[in-house]
Amino acid sequence: MKTILNVKNLTKNFGGLCAVSNVSMTINEGELIGLIGPNGAGKTTLFNLLTGVYEPSSGLIELIDQNKSIQIGGLKPYKITNLGVARTFQNIRLFKSMTVLENVKVAMHKNIRYGTLAAILRLPTYYKEEKWVEEKAEELLKEVGLYSLRNELATNLPYGKQRRLEIARALAIQPKILYLDEPAAGMNPQETKELTELIDHIREKYKLTVILIEHDMSLVMKICERIYVLNYGKMIANGTPEEIKQNEFVVKAYLGEEI
Amino acid sequence: MRKELLNKANLAWLLLSIVSFVVLSILMKVGIIGSYYSITLYNIFINIILAVSLNLVIGVCGQFSLGHAGFMCIGAYCAGIMVKMMPNMTGLAIGVLIGFALSTIVALIVSIPTLRLKGDYLAIATLGFAEIVRILVQNMEITNGAAGLNGIPKLTTFPLLFVCAVIAILVVCNFTHSAPGRACLSIREDEIASEAMGINTTKYKVIAFVIGALLASLAGALFACNFYVIKPDQFTFNKSIDILVMVVFGGMGSMTSSVLAAVAIGIINVVLANFSEIRMIIYGLALVGIMIFKPTGILGTKELSFKKLFDKRKEKSA
């Protein structure tokens, strides 16, 4: 299997607090990886480092694309995104007063080939590209089942649908790697089930490498092929769901030690 | 003519502009809009350009700029000086172009460092910038200092003004309804998410700011060639606030509302002409009132759209 993401000794300090400490991980193409850990373990900070929101204090993040290795640690988020890395947010960050369709269109920005001048002068390329974007965005919305809501403002969607839209928007980037930050948070069992199916489906269809943070253990254990466990910023374990369930460090981190 | 442009909605807009132009022209010719009121009318059109362009920066892109009068000042003086040397339309055109060039350079200098940061730095930087421009103009020889430029030939005709206002609205609306415009809107909505969608946020903030500056400079040029005299104290902080009031009063992000607010405030100013001292107080009260009762402005983000209107009718009949 080919490696797509290689993280080496990644560290992030906030003043005296070490939020992520010396984390290393290797992720292969097409894997579905779970990232778990108690609250405050540094999972979202790790995502923020991987997507460029934070600059690492030290360590390397290497993205391997068609046998070319690119250092992405400390790059601007939009540059990392344009290398084929998409994400969703823990605390949904949709463009609230834009429509569902527009939300998806924003994410297709990289592939739109006309500039500001062509937009203002309404040159033929504008119409051609906009037509393409419209079709492509509608296609994607049909796929995630939001097509009928396409002209609704994002803020008016129910919670579960907003999460879905975040995933659709991330897919519109046409990523190779997709980070999902607690996609099932706050969902009821039915919604979680639908979400699981959606993740499976898009992963298959777009040949994605998916890394997800999740507290819903049944979901993680069911769909993830490999799991990394963070606690107090340190990577304490990694392995298959079965191995993780047996791992004494993980059990300690979640349940505490015997006295 | 390309077929994409020839749709019902665009034709409706064209019709609306032609009708309003003809009606206003006739009213002025016949004398129903007398010479006093026609000054107000000219002012309203200049304010439309200013309000729409500031709305692009504040309403669409979400960047708070307090220095619009500064760009207007640059445009006004470039055109004023040029037209005094060359009192014809070519002179005005050259003046406008020089104003564009200068505004672009200044806008880039102000915006590139400040727009890289998140938060209200732009407001402070633009506030300072506008004052610097005014003080420079007040102390330079070519601008004739505090006395201002006199005897600028009146080249701003109603048709020219009308066409410029329409162009300004078109530029801003076309920009907003395009990929770069969507990028700007997404920055307003959520900058972190916008960047995570692969958008170079600094770039688009700068683009919006520069377009705003260019249009303000155009408005300044038309302003200069309208009143014979321009003085530095016409471009103070108060002027920036005047424009801001129109944007906030109407509704941030809606061009229709900027136009309506420019018209409404133009009319209110005429009504309040006799109490010019309390004008600012009334402005202030109106703003506070808006903030309390309708923080999104009178129209909010609602936009007059013939396209939607026609689509709705089609849906109904179908």
pLDDT tens digits for range B4-48: 777 888 888 899 999 999 999 999 888 888 888 888 899 999 999
pLDDT surpasses 90 at A103: yes
Q: CA B136 to CA B233: how far, in whole Å?
A: 12
Could you give the number of structural domains in chain B? 1
Confidence of residue B187 (pLDDT cuts 50, 70, 90): very high
Cα–Cα distance, A165 to A157 (Å, whole number): 9
Neighbours of A253 (CB within 10 A): 21
Do the chains contact at A109 and B193, CB–CB below 8 Å? Answer: no
Q: Is pLDDT of B277 > 90?
A: no
Q: Cβ(A247)–Cβ(A55) under 8 Å?
A: no
Q: Is A86 on the interface with B (CB under 8 A)?
A: yes
Distance CA B195, CA A126 (A): 23
Interface of A with B in 190-209 (CB under 8 A): none
The better pLDDT of the pair A93, A256 is held by A93
Q: CB within 8 A of A229, min separation 6: which ones?
A: A36, A37, A235, A236, A237, A238, A244, A247, A249, A250, A253
pLDDT digits (tens, 9 = 90+) for B202-235: 999 999 999 999 999 999 999 999 988 999 999 9
Question: Inter-chain contact A106–B4, Cβ cutoff 8 Å?
Answer: no
Asked if the structure places residue B253 within a domain, the reply is: no
- pLDDT, tens digit, 9 for 90 and up, residues A29-85: 999 999 999 888 899 999 999 999 999 999 999 999 888 899 998 899 999 999 999
Average pLDDT over residues B160-186: 95
Is some CB atom of chain A closer than 8 A to the CB atom of B20?
no
Amino acid at the residue A186: G
Across the interface, whether the CB atoms of B179 and A102 are under 8 A apart is answered no
Report phi then psi at B156, rounded to 5: -75, 100
pLDDT at B274 over 70: yes
Q: How open is the CA angle B6-B10-B13, to the nearest 5 degrees?
A: 145
Q: Give the Cα separation of A186 and A200 in Å (integer).
A: 20
Nearest residue to A77 via CA among B187, B180, B197, B113: B197
Q: What is the mean pLDDT of residues A191-215?
A: 92
Contact A244, A227 (CB under 8 A): yes
Residue B67 backbone dihedrals phi, psi, to 5 degrees: -120, 30
pLDDT at B1: 52
What letter does residue B228 receive in the DSSP assignment?
A: S
Q: Which residues form the domain of B116?
A: 39-236
Quick check: B189 and A107 CB within 8 A? no
Considering only CB atoms, B5 lies closest to which of A77, A120, A122, namely: A122
A106/B194 touch (CB, cutoff 8 Å), yes or no: yes
The answer to the question of residue B174 being in a domain is yes
Identify the CA nearest to A48 among candidates A80, A25, A18, A4. A80
Kindly list the distances between the CA atom of residue B16 and the CA atoms of B13, B50, B175, in Å, as whole numbers in the listed order: 5, 21, 21
pLDDT of amino acid B100: 97
What's the pLDDT tens digit per position in B44-87? 999 999 999 999 999 999 999 999 999 999 999 999 999 999 89
Contacts of B4 in chain A (CB under 8 A): 122, 124, 127
Residue A196 and residue A220: Cα distance in Å, rounded?
10
pLDDT band per the 50, 70, 90 thresholds, residue B281? confident
Confirm if B135 and B145 have CB atoms less than 8 A apart: no
* Cross-chain residue pair A81–B197, CB shorter than 8 Å: yes
Q: Give the residue-averaged pLDDT of B234-247.
A: 90
For an interface test with A, give the residue of B10, B197, B201, B308 to mutate (most A CBs within 10 A).
B197
Look at residue B34 in the predicted model and tell me its pLDDT: 81
Residues A132-153 have pLDDT tens digits of 999 999 999 999 999 999 999 9
B271 shares contact with chain A (CB less than 8 Å): no
Residue A127 contacts B, CB cutoff 8 Å: yes
The whole-number pLDDT of residue A250 equals 85
Amino acid identity for residue A167 in this structure: I
Residue B2 pLDDT: 66
CA distance A123 to A33: 45
Query: How does the average pLDDT of chain B come out, rounded?
Result: 89
Q: Which of B174, B198, B207 comes nearest A78 by C-beta? A: B198
**C-alpha pair distances (Å), B228 with each of B99, B180, B239:** 18, 38, 19
B199, part of any domain: yes
- Closest chain A residue to the Cα of B195, Cα to Cα: A78
Cβ of residue B10 closer than 8 Å to a chain A Cβ: no
φ/ψ of A179, rounded to 5, equals -100, 125
* Kind and range of the H or E run holding A119: helix A116-121
Residue B26 within any structural domain of the chain: no
Is residue B189 in some structural domain?
yes
Does B5 contact chain A (CB < 8 Å)? Answer: yes
Question: Residues B24, B30, B33, CA angle at the centre, nearest 5°?
Answer: 55
Confidence of residue A254 (pLDDT cuts 50, 70, 90): confident
Tokens matching residue B260: 């309506």
On whether residue B144 sits in a domain, the answer given is yes
Neighbouring residues of B144: CB distance < 8 A, sequence distance ≥ 6: B150
> How far is residue A187's CA from residue A132's CA, in Å, rounded to a whole number?
34
pLDDT higher than 80, residue A1: no
- Cβ <8 Å between B190 and A112: no
Which residues does A178 contact at the CB level (< 8 Å), separation at least 6?
Answer: A86, A87, A170, A171, A202, A208, A209, A210, A211
Chain B partners within 8 Å of A120 (Cβ) = 170-171, 174-175, 178
B40-50 per-position pLDDT tens digit: 899 999 999 99
Can you read off the two tokens belonging to residue A16?
């005296």
| pLDDT mean across residues, chain A | 91
Q: Where are the domains of chain A?
A: 3-255
Is B96 within a domain? Answer: yes
| Predicted local confidence at residue A137, as pLDDT | 95
B179 and chain A in contact, CB less than 8 A: yes
Q: What crossing angle do the helices spanning B237-250 and B121-139 adopt, rounded to 10°?
A: 140
Q: Is residue B208 part of a domain?
A: yes
pLDDT band at A252 (very low <50, low <70, confident <90, very high): confident
Q: Is the pLDDT of residue B163 over 80?
A: yes
Q: What is the pLDDT of residue B280?
A: 76
What Å distances lie between residue B132 and B71, B140, B141, B234, CA to CA?
A: 11, 12, 16, 14
Hey, what CATH topology would domain A3-255 get?
Rossmann fold (3.40.50)
Which amino acid belongs to residue B137? V
Total residue count of chain A as it appears in this document: 259
Give the model's confidence band at A259: pLDDT under 50 very low, under 70 low, under 90 confident, else very high: low
B207 — contact with chain A (CB < 8 Å)? yes
- In this predicted structure, the answer to whether residue B262 has a pLDDT above a threshold of 80 is yes
